[in-house]
Protein backbone atom coordinates (compact mmCIF):
# COMPACT_ATOMS: atom_id res chain seq x y z
CA UNK A 1 0.00 0.00 0.00
CA UNK A 2 1.26 3.47 -0.87
CA UNK A 3 0.72 6.71 1.04
CA UNK A 4 0.62 9.92 -1.06
CA UNK A 5 1.47 13.45 0.13
CA UNK A 6 1.44 16.53 -2.10
CA UNK A 7 3.47 19.71 -1.53
CA UNK A 8 3.54 23.05 -3.31
CA UNK A 9 7.13 23.85 -4.34
CA UNK A 10 7.04 27.56 -5.12
CA UNK A 11 9.54 29.45 -2.93
CA UNK A 12 10.61 26.30 -1.05
CA UNK A 13 14.04 25.85 -2.65
CA UNK A 14 12.94 22.57 -4.23
CA UNK A 15 14.50 21.82 -7.65
CA UNK A 16 15.13 18.89 -9.98
CA UNK A 17 18.87 19.24 -9.46
CA UNK A 18 18.51 18.97 -5.68
CA UNK A 19 16.14 16.00 -6.05
CA UNK A 20 18.68 14.13 -8.18
CA UNK A 21 21.51 14.90 -5.77
CA UNK A 22 19.43 13.64 -2.82
CA UNK A 23 18.56 10.43 -4.72
CA UNK A 24 22.19 9.31 -4.99
CA UNK A 25 22.13 7.85 -1.45
CA UNK A 26 20.06 4.94 -2.83
CA UNK A 27 21.39 1.85 -4.63
CA UNK A 28 18.56 1.85 -7.19
CA UNK A 29 17.54 5.06 -8.93
CA UNK A 30 15.40 5.75 -12.01
CA UNK A 31 14.82 9.34 -13.15
CA UNK A 32 12.45 10.22 -16.01
CA UNK A 33 12.29 13.86 -17.14
CA UNK A 34 10.21 15.40 -19.95
CA UNK A 35 12.11 18.71 -19.65
CA UNK A 36 8.91 20.72 -19.83
CA UNK A 37 7.74 19.22 -23.13
CA UNK A 38 3.99 18.75 -23.28
CA UNK A 39 1.90 16.11 -25.01
CA UNK A 40 -1.78 15.15 -24.68
CA UNK A 41 -0.93 11.99 -22.70
CA UNK A 42 1.62 13.39 -20.24
CA UNK A 43 0.71 13.31 -16.57
CA UNK A 44 3.98 14.45 -14.98
CA UNK A 45 6.94 16.66 -15.76
CA UNK A 46 9.32 14.23 -14.05
CA UNK A 47 9.28 11.04 -11.98
CA UNK A 48 11.88 9.70 -9.55
CA UNK A 49 11.87 6.12 -8.20
CA UNK A 50 14.40 5.03 -5.56
CA UNK A 51 15.16 2.02 -3.38
CA UNK A 52 14.15 -1.53 -4.29
CA UNK A 53 11.48 -3.17 -2.16
CA UNK A 54 11.70 -6.11 -4.58
CA UNK A 55 13.43 -6.58 -7.92
CA UNK A 56 13.77 -8.84 -10.94
CA UNK A 57 17.16 -9.44 -12.58
CA UNK A 58 17.10 -11.73 -15.61
CA UNK A 59 19.06 -13.02 -18.56
CA UNK A 60 17.43 -13.61 -21.93
CA UNK A 61 15.92 -17.04 -21.17
CA UNK A 62 12.26 -16.82 -20.07
CA UNK A 63 12.71 -13.11 -19.39
CA UNK A 64 9.21 -12.05 -20.43
CA UNK A 65 7.52 -14.85 -18.48
CA UNK A 66 9.47 -13.82 -15.39
CA UNK A 67 8.53 -10.17 -15.91
CA UNK A 68 4.87 -11.11 -16.27
CA UNK A 69 5.03 -13.00 -12.97
CA UNK A 70 6.85 -10.14 -11.26
CA UNK A 71 4.15 -7.68 -12.32
CA UNK A 72 1.43 -10.01 -11.01
CA UNK A 73 3.20 -10.40 -7.67
CA UNK A 74 3.93 -6.71 -7.03
CA UNK A 75 0.69 -5.14 -8.30
CA UNK A 76 2.49 -1.83 -8.01
CA UNK A 77 4.68 0.59 -9.93
CA UNK A 78 7.79 -1.04 -11.40
CA UNK A 79 10.71 0.67 -13.11
CA UNK A 80 13.54 -0.76 -15.18
CA UNK A 81 14.65 -1.57 -18.67
CA UNK A 82 14.52 -4.15 -21.48
CA UNK A 83 17.66 -4.69 -23.57
CA UNK A 84 17.71 -5.23 -27.32
CA UNK A 85 19.04 -8.78 -26.93
CA UNK A 86 15.72 -9.88 -25.45
CA UNK A 87 14.74 -10.43 -29.09
CA UNK A 88 16.56 -13.76 -28.63
CA UNK A 89 13.82 -14.82 -26.20
CA UNK A 90 11.15 -14.13 -28.81
CA UNK A 91 12.69 -15.62 -31.95
CA UNK A 92 15.42 -18.09 -32.91
CA UNK A 93 18.12 -15.41 -32.95
CA UNK A 94 21.49 -14.88 -31.29
CA UNK A 95 23.85 -11.99 -30.66
CA UNK A 96 27.65 -11.82 -30.71
CA UNK A 97 28.26 -8.15 -29.98
CA UNK A 98 30.93 -6.93 -27.56
CA UNK A 99 29.56 -6.27 -24.05
CA UNK A 100 31.85 -4.12 -21.98
CA UNK A 101 29.26 -3.30 -19.32
CA UNK A 102 27.75 -6.64 -18.32
CA UNK A 103 24.35 -5.24 -17.39
CA UNK A 104 21.50 -7.74 -16.97
CA UNK A 105 19.34 -8.26 -20.06
CA UNK A 106 16.26 -7.33 -18.04
CA UNK A 107 16.08 -5.39 -14.80
CA UNK A 108 12.99 -4.11 -12.96
CA UNK A 109 12.36 -3.07 -9.38
CA UNK A 110 9.44 -2.07 -7.21
CA UNK A 111 10.54 1.22 -5.62
CA UNK A 112 10.20 2.03 -1.96
CA UNK A 113 9.81 5.73 -2.73
CA UNK A 114 8.32 7.50 -5.77
CA UNK A 115 8.36 11.27 -6.26
CA UNK A 116 6.31 12.85 -9.08
CA UNK A 117 6.63 16.44 -10.28
CA UNK A 118 3.84 18.32 -12.07
CA UNK A 119 3.71 22.09 -12.58
CA UNK A 120 4.32 23.73 -9.20
CA UNK A 121 3.66 20.66 -7.05
CA UNK A 122 5.43 17.49 -6.03
CA UNK A 123 3.75 14.26 -4.89
CA UNK A 124 5.52 11.77 -2.63
CA UNK A 125 4.18 8.21 -3.01
CA UNK A 126 5.84 5.98 -0.40
CA UNK A 127 5.22 2.44 0.73
CA UNK A 128 3.37 2.47 4.02
CA UNK A 129 6.37 1.20 5.99
CA UNK A 130 8.37 4.38 5.21
CA UNK A 131 5.56 6.94 4.86
CA UNK A 132 6.66 8.65 8.10
CA UNK A 133 9.81 9.76 6.24
CA UNK A 134 7.96 11.93 3.71
CA UNK A 135 8.16 15.25 5.60
CA UNK A 136 11.82 14.75 6.47
CA UNK A 137 12.71 13.81 2.90
CA UNK A 138 10.95 16.88 1.51
CA UNK A 139 12.96 19.10 3.84
CA UNK A 140 16.21 17.29 3.00
CA UNK A 141 15.63 17.76 -0.73
CA UNK A 142 14.94 21.48 -0.33
CA UNK A 143 18.21 21.84 1.62
CA UNK A 144 20.35 19.64 -0.67
CA UNK A 145 23.20 20.96 -2.79
CA UNK A 146 22.61 21.38 -6.52
CA UNK A 147 24.54 19.47 -9.19
CA UNK A 148 27.14 21.25 -11.30
CA UNK A 149 27.16 19.86 -14.86
CA UNK A 150 30.43 18.32 -16.03
CA UNK A 151 32.58 20.73 -18.07
CA UNK A 152 35.45 19.67 -20.32
CA UNK A 153 38.49 21.91 -20.47
CA UNK A 154 41.31 21.66 -23.00
CA UNK A 155 43.23 18.40 -22.58
CA UNK A 156 40.67 16.84 -20.21
CA UNK A 157 38.04 14.17 -20.57
CA UNK A 158 38.01 10.44 -21.33
CA UNK A 159 39.49 9.02 -24.53
CA UNK A 160 36.51 8.06 -26.65
CA UNK A 161 36.89 5.12 -29.05
CA UNK A 162 34.73 3.74 -31.87
CA UNK A 163 33.62 0.12 -31.72
CA UNK A 164 33.46 0.00 -35.55
CA UNK A 165 36.06 1.76 -37.67
CA UNK A 166 35.07 3.97 -40.60
CA UNK A 167 35.86 1.56 -43.45
CA UNK A 168 34.08 -1.35 -41.75
CA UNK A 169 31.12 0.90 -40.99
CA UNK A 170 30.73 1.91 -44.65
CA UNK A 171 31.02 -1.71 -45.83
CA UNK A 172 28.26 -2.73 -43.42
CA UNK A 173 26.02 0.12 -44.55
CA UNK A 174 26.52 -0.88 -48.20
CA UNK A 175 25.64 -4.49 -47.36
CA UNK A 176 22.38 -3.37 -45.78
CA UNK A 177 21.58 -1.12 -48.74
CA UNK A 178 22.13 -4.10 -51.05
CA UNK A 179 19.60 -6.11 -48.98
CA UNK A 180 17.10 -3.23 -49.22
CA UNK A 181 17.57 -2.87 -53.00
CA UNK A 182 16.99 -6.62 -53.46
CA UNK A 183 13.88 -6.49 -51.32
CA UNK A 184 15.23 -8.78 -48.57
CA UNK A 185 14.45 -6.14 -45.93
CA UNK A 186 12.81 -2.71 -45.97
CA UNK A 187 14.77 -1.04 -43.16
CA UNK A 188 17.73 -1.59 -40.86
CA UNK A 189 18.67 -0.23 -37.45
CA UNK A 190 22.46 0.02 -37.47
CA UNK A 191 24.08 1.21 -34.24
CA UNK A 192 27.59 2.44 -33.63
CA UNK A 193 29.01 2.28 -30.10
CA UNK A 194 31.42 4.86 -28.71
CA UNK A 195 33.16 3.92 -25.48
CA UNK A 196 36.01 4.68 -23.10
CA UNK A 197 38.13 2.28 -21.01
CA UNK A 198 40.07 2.71 -17.78
CA UNK A 199 38.47 6.03 -17.03
CA UNK A 200 36.38 7.44 -14.22
CA UNK A 201 33.46 9.87 -14.55
CA UNK A 202 30.70 11.25 -12.36
CA UNK A 203 27.62 9.80 -14.12
CA UNK A 204 25.21 12.32 -12.60
CA UNK A 205 27.26 15.34 -13.66
CA UNK A 206 27.74 13.91 -17.17
CA UNK A 207 23.99 13.27 -17.44
CA UNK A 208 23.26 16.82 -16.26
CA UNK A 209 25.56 18.26 -18.93
CA UNK A 210 24.12 16.08 -21.72
CA UNK A 211 20.59 16.97 -20.67
CA UNK A 212 21.50 20.65 -20.55
CA UNK A 213 22.80 20.46 -24.13
CA UNK A 214 19.85 18.63 -25.72
CA UNK A 215 16.81 18.97 -23.39
CA UNK A 216 15.05 15.89 -24.84
CA UNK A 217 11.43 15.09 -23.91
CA UNK A 218 12.55 11.66 -22.64
CA UNK A 219 15.69 12.24 -20.53
CA UNK A 220 16.55 9.29 -18.29
CA UNK A 221 19.20 8.21 -15.84
CA UNK A 222 19.25 4.78 -14.20
CA UNK A 223 21.48 3.59 -11.38
CA UNK A 224 21.57 -0.05 -10.27
Give buried/exposed letters for 49-63 (b at 16+ CB in 10 A, else e).
Answer: bbbbeebbebebeeb
- The answer to whether the pTM exceeds 0.85 is yes
Q: Do 14 and 36 share a structural domain?
A: yes
In this structure, the answer to whether residues 12 and 52 fall within a common structural domain is: yes
Q: Are residues 182 and 74 in the same domain?
A: no
Q: Tens of pLDDT along 88-147?
A: 999 988 888 778 888 999 999 999 999 999 988 999 999 999 999 999 999 999 999 887
Q: How far, in Å, CA of 77 to CA of 74, rounded?
A: 8
CATH number assigned to the domain comprising residue 114: 3.60.120.10
Same domain flag for 8 and 31: yes
Range of the domain at 186: 161-195
How many domains, in total, are found in the chain?
2
Amino acid sequence: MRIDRKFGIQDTGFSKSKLLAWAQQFEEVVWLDSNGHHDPYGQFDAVLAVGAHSKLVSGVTDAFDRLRSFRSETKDWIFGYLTYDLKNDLEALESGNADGLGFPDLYFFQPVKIIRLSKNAVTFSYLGSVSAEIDGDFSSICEANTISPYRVSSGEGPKIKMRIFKETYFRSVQKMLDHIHRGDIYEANFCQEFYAERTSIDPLRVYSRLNELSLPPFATIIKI
